[in-house]
A and B are shown apart, each in its own frame.
Chain A
Amino acid sequence: GESVGLHLPTLSVQEGDNSIINCAYSNSASDYFIWYKQESGKGPQFIIDIRSNMDKRQGQRVTVLLNKTVKHLSLQIAATQPGDSAVYFCAENGGYSTLTFGKGTMLLVS
């Protein structure tokens, strides 16, 4: 999950396992929640989003779950592959298409 300060949470998984990355968000008024993936040396890249009136949304090998009661968001990656190794950020929308990002979780696949 997310944390405060300089420490980047790390999740280590074996290839083929399912991965779950968690995020706590702060603004209950946000309408959209988004997951971004950042590979080493690259800018963040959009993975999937979910609107606040939904609980679950599925993409290709990824599923995002939203629990508004406890302000919790998770990203599930099925059959994790080495190419999934990256830092994953959750984000929530503000006004004028701005986003507030979480601090990130590093996923290591071996």
Chain B
Amino acid sequence: DVKVTQSSRYLVKRTGEKVFLECVQDMDHENMFWYRQDPGLGLRLIYFSYDVKMKEKGDIPEGYSVSREKKERFSLILESASTNQTSMYLCASSLRTSLRSYNEQFFGPGTRLTVL
């Protein structure tokens, strides 16, 4: 079974702090994704990576950055946390596909981040 783990289930930070959210997958997937989930807004893609050291902006990248130094690990960084970044953050991974195709995304359990 694919396993996607996230470093914390719950996190409380203060405005202006630098925040690291870590995600690790154990199935040698090429693609990794970071989403945020807010009530009534569904999942919105922040950043994704289709290979080590590669990153692409999603729909809402402002205020975030990412790092993919190893294939199994994808980190989301909030350089200076703000209260509007209070949210549930979900990491996912999938096998590589051709450009127009897709492979199932496997999700971690999520990190609920509160910024005070």
Tell me the interface secondary structure of chain B in the complex: loop
A100: chain B residues at CB < 8 Å are 45, 59
11 contacting pairs across A/B (C-beta < 8 A)? A32-B102, A41-B109, A44-B43, A89-B42, A96-B56, A97-B96, A97-B103, A100-B45, A101-B35, A103-B42, A104-B42
Q: Which residues of B contact A (CB under 8 A)?
A: 4, 31, 33, 35, 39-45, 48, 50, 56, 58-59, 90, 92, 94-97, 99-110
Tell me whether B90 and A44 are in contact (CB under 8 A).
Answer: yes
CB distance from B44 to the nearest CB of A (A): 8
Tell me whether B39 and A6 are in contact (CB under 8 A).
Answer: yes
Partner of A45, one of B40, B50, B107: B107
Q: Which of chain B's residues has its CB closest to A46's CB? A: B104
B101: chain A residues at CB < 8 Å are 31-32, 93, 97
Report if A53 contacts B (CB, 8 A). no
